[in-house]
């Protein structure tokens, strides 16, 4: 058993403050509090569980997580050129397995993934039949995960860094309306806006499973307050269009993030992995501090 898992399972931490809301109504400036997960995790159809984790773990934890990965995951890990990227990939997959194992009440190594044609991971065989859907994203040592029951879902997080090719990305991936609005913004607001829109687009592309094959310039990330993706007229005609909810998630000061979930009237909860801040070894705690994450 993983030390993290033991702590996680023995923890009788407090339940989160449930936020029963329509995420679209609170798209702007939402500052969630990241809570200690309960011992028993349950996902019903209206639940959306968003998890935040720091990936720079002590090497013993990375080794333990490696033991839970499948052969193809370990082979993928071997392809990273830098040790830090390799360890982060192992930690991200290891934590994904650990959280899924808590929902499914199985050993993390027993979980099997399959992949859509554009690479979206899903639960395979009997685990897939549970209806649990998930998405994950990581950037600069911080990971976000989202879990739902029977709803398509996508998540994205980006460290807000200097992007030398920002102009080219905007031209290629942003809609005419977005580009026009973007040009009117003061320089001081451009970087944050760019990442906010980018993460919304990526989260949507990941919810559909199409990744970069999805025409991102056809998705308008310039959401007015209170508007859902649907109301912006994407995905074909009104009859065939599924409803999507989209909202921003700010996991830490220097990061932008977004979540897209099929449907509405969602009960969104935010969990911190691992459960309690005192469970963090010193190294992780100092990294968390450098991200200004309040735990
Ligand atoms: C495949 C893609 C989803 C990866 O996105 P990304 O931002 O590079 O990486 P993220 O950390 O957000 O997501 C990675 C996870 O997405 C998942 N993923 C891969 N393909 C996916 C797809 N088609 N749909 C949903 N999820 C997918 C994988 O599980 C992956 O996790 P892993 O590393 O454990 O395998 C794709 O959209 C992509 O390559 N985007 C390019 C991003 C880019 O150019 N960003 C510039 C920002 S300024």
CA distances from 213 to 36, 133, 148 (A): 36, 20, 23
Cβ distance 257 to 157 under 8 Å?
yes
Average pLDDT over residues 43-63: 93
- Is position 219 within any domain? yes
Q: How much is the average pLDDT of 34-61?
A: 91
Q: 3-class DSSP state for residue 37?
A: coil
Average pLDDT over residues 37-58: 91
| 94 pocket-lining for ligand 1 (C-beta < 6 Å) | no
Residue 217, pLDDT score: 72
* Ligand 1 atom, smallest distance to 209 CA: 24
Per-residue pLDDT tens digits for 68-110: 999 999 999 999 999 999 999 999 999 999 999 989 988 899 9
148, 165, 206, best to mutate for ligand 1 pocket (most atoms within 8 Å of CB): 206
Least confident of 5-14, 55-64, 265-274: 5-14
Whole-Å CA distances, 287 to 56, 138, 142, 294: 8, 15, 10, 12
Handedness of CA 161, 166, 170, 173 (dihedral sign): negative
pLDDT of residue 49: 96
Evaluate whether residue 19 is within a structural domain.
yes
User: What CATH number should be reported for the domain holding residue 49?
Assistant: 3.90.470.20
> Is the CB–ligand 1 distance for residue 260 below 6 Å?
no
88 lines ligand 1 (CB under 6 A): no
Confidence at residue 288, expressed as pLDDT on a 0 to 100 scale: 37
- On the question of pLDDT at 277 being above 90, the answer is no
User: pLDDT above 90 covers what percent of the chain?
Assistant: 51
Rounded to the nearest whole angstrom, what is the distance from the C-alpha of residue 15 to the centroid of ligand 1? 31
Q: What is the pTM of this model?
A: 0.83
Per the CB < 8 A criterion, the answer to whether 131 and 150 are in contact is yes
What one-character DSSP code corresponds to residue 226?
T
Note whether residue 140 is domain-resident: yes
d(CA 148, CA 155): 12
Average pLDDT over residues 23-49: 73
Answer whether residue 291 shows pLDDT above 60. Answer: no
Domain assignment of residue 190, yes or no: yes
The residues, any chain, with a CB within 8 Å of residue 183's CB and separated by 6 or more, are none
Domain of 35, in residue numbers: 3-288
Residue nearest to atom 41 of ligand 1 (CA): 212
Residue 73 CB less than 6 A away from ligand 1: no
Given the structure tokens 């065989």, which residue do they identify? 125
Evaluate whether residue 294 is within a structural domain. Answer: no
Any idea which residue has 């993983």 for tokens? 2
Is residue 23, in this structure, part of any structural domain at all?
yes
Q: Examine residue 110 and state whether it is found in any structural domain, yes or no.
A: yes
In a domain, 293, yes or no: no
Atom of ligand 1 nearest to the CA of 92: 34
pLDDT band at residue 274 under the 50/70/90 scheme: confident
Does residue 211's CB lie within 6 angstroms of at least one atom of ligand 1? yes
Q: Element (H or E) spanning 133, and its range?
A: strand 132-139
Q: Report the mean per-residue pLDDT for the chain.
A: 79
With H, G, I as helix, E, B as strand and everything else as coil, classify residue 118.
coil
Number of domains in the chain: 1
Instruction: Please give the residue that has the higher pLDDT: either 73 or 211.
Output: 73
pLDDT of residue 281: 41
Residue 213 clears pLDDT 90, i.e. is over it: no
Give the length of the chain: 295
pLDDT digits (tens, 9 = 90+) for 130-188: 999 999 999 999 999 999 999 999 999 999 999 999 999 999 888 888 898 899 999 99
Kindly state if the Cβ of 3 falls inside 6 Å of ligand 1.
Answer: no
């Amino acid at each position: 058993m993983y030390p993290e898992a033991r702590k996680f399972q023995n923890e009788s931490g407090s339940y989160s403050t449930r936020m029963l809301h329509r995420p679209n109504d609170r798209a702007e400036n939402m500052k969630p509090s990241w809570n200690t997960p309960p011992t028993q995790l349950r996902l019903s159809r209206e639940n959306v569980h968003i998890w935040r984790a720091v990936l720079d773990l002590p090497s013993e934890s990375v080794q333990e997580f490696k033991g839970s990965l499948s052969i193809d995951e370990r082979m993928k890990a071997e392809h990273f050129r830098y040790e830090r990227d390799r360890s982060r990939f192992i930690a991200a997959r290891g934590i994904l397995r650990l959280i899924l194992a808590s929902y499914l009440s199985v050993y993390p190594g027993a979980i099997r993934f399959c992949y859509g044609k554009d690479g979206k991971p899903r639960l395979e065989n009997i685990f897939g039949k549970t209806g649990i859907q998930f998405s994950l994203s990581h950037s600069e040592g911080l990971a976000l995960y989202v879990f739902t029951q029977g709803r398509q879902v996508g998540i994205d997080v980006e460290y807000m860094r200097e992007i030398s090719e920002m102009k080219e990305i905007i031209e290629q991936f942003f809609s005419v309306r977005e580009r026009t609005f973007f040009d009117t913004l003061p320089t001081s607001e451009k970087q944050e806006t760019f990442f906010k829109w980018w993460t919304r687009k990526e989260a949507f592309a990941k919810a559909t499973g199409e990744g970069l094959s999805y025409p991102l310039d056809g998705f308008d990330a310039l959401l007015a307050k209170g508007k859902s993706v649907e109301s912006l007229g994407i995905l074909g005609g009104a009859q065939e269009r599924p409803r999507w909810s989209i909202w921003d998630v700010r996991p830490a000061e220097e990061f932008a993030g977004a979540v897209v979930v099929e449907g509405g009237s969602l009960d969104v909860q935010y969990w911190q992995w691992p459960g309690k801040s005192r469970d963090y070894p010193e190294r992780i705690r100092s990294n968390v501090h450098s991200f200004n994450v309040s735990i």
